[in-house]
Amino acid sequence: MSSPRRQLRTWSVGLLAGATVITGCSTAASSPDPATLTAGPDNSGSTAATSASPSPSPSAGASSATASASPSPTPTKPLADPVAKDVVTGLTTPWAIAPLKDGSLLVCERDTSMIKRVVGSRASEVQRISDVEPGGEGGLLGLTITPDEKTVFAYFTAAEDNRIISMSWDGTSLGEQKTIFAGIPKGFRHNGGRMVIGPDNHLYVGTGEVGDTSLAQDKKSLAGKILRITQDGAPARGNPFGTEIYSLGHRNVQGLAFDDAGRLWASEFGDQTWDELNLITKGSNYGWPEVEGSGQAEGMTNPKVVWSTSEASPSGLAYWKGSLYLAALRGRRLWEIPVDGTDVGKPKAHFTGEYGRLRSVTVAADGQRLLVSTSNTDGRGDRQRGDDRILEVNR
């Protein structure tokens, strides 16, 4: 493995700082562009889209990829309503899930610094990440595994920064913790942490702007970005700025997912007005802090869907059976967004209020079900008996 990289400016931020202003750009609280879908409840309580359907946009993600990032096929007939059941209960702040081919799961817990393995309905500690320093919204925030299941990556908040480590996996235990990438700014909030391995075999990483909004537009900072790096932690070849940065202008990326054509999608927290679902293209600027949601800002890319922050506060994201599934924290539901190429259809909500805050969503290794974690022990939820839990969703 190569040594950890600290090529760009490193920051440690505790509280919200002021934003820079780009002349000619719209304000952060801008109204949605007509090409962005607005999702939310109608008078009957079902979901509705109130803006025009989006127009196509350029291909995104790893456009040269030849393999699909999801094992799930596009459906040919209408799907039944989803049903959920418990896989495991009694977890503490589960933050990310890495499904394994044998049907078991690896799950990381933000506040305990532990990676656990779930076999059947039992969870047991596999390894504690030694340098995690939980606090505020920081802690053990991300987990993913290579397709051959030989290497696990974890993203966490350390004493001075957020960083990524790799560990070998032999089917039962994790090996030595090796730092492959360091220097991602840390803060009391907005630390990002979602990771996914793309069809090109590179690691895509979502970071937050740690409460300093100016960093999202700063190409010298790793904060408020989507990064694309090799599994050794080097900038991936073909990145738009010759660094680790793949896209910029993000507030706090919480979900990353590739569809069956290799396009990259991301879910992102808004501030007071609009949460976002974005289709990510190389080198694009997604507007924060000059635009919250969508607007008419020159040189900035609008989201495909926006929600009011009470309807979403989006977290994990997965592509399954022709749709994106987005876990909602404050919205306490699972959003389904149909995908047709670069277009999206009318979002539909499932399980509204049934399980509380939903954090992570991923496709099981066999492609036949979703795995969704709750987030009711994170200090912001109403804890229910058995929380937190991982749910299996079938349809």
Q: What per-residue confidence (pLDDT) applies to 24? A: 35
In a domain, residue 61? The reply is: no
Q: What per-residue confidence (pLDDT) applies to 33? A: 80
In a domain, residue 48? The reply is: no
In a domain, residue 191? The reply is: yes
Q: What per-residue confidence (pLDDT) applies to 164? A: 99
Band (pLDDT 50/70/90 cuts) for residue 78 is confident
Q: Spell out a b/e string for 302-324, using b for 16 or more CB atoms within 10 Å of the CB, else e.
A: bbbbbbbbebbbbbbbbbbbbbb
CATH of residue 380: 2.120.10.30
Residue 125 parent element (H or E)? strand 122-128
Residues spanned by the domain of 274: 70-394
Q: Spell out a b/e string for 204-241, using b for 16 or more CB atoms within 10 Å of the CB, else e.
A: bbbbbbbbbbbbbbbeebbbbbbbbbbbebebbeebee
DSSP letter (8 states) at residue 212: B
Tally of domains within the chain = 1
For the entire predicted model, the pTM comes to 0.86
At residue 195, what are phi and psi to the nearest 5 degrees?
A: -135, 150
What whole-number distance in Å separates Cα of residue 56 and Cα of residue 59? 9
Band (pLDDT 50/70/90 cuts) for residue 28 is low
pLDDT of 45 > 70? The answer is: no
In a domain, residue 282? The reply is: yes
In a domain, residue 2? The reply is: no
What whole-number distance in Å separates Cα of residue 110 and Cα of residue 123? 15
In a domain, residue 236? The reply is: yes
CB atoms within 10 A of CB 346: 15
In a domain, residue 303? The reply is: yes
Q: What per-residue confidence (pLDDT) applies to 377? A: 97
In a domain, residue 8? The reply is: no
At residue 380, what are phi and psi to the nearest 5 degrees?
A: -125, 0
pLDDT (tens digit per residue) in 131-170: 999 999 999 999 999 999 999 999 999 999 999 999 999 9
pLDDT of 289 > 60? The answer is: yes
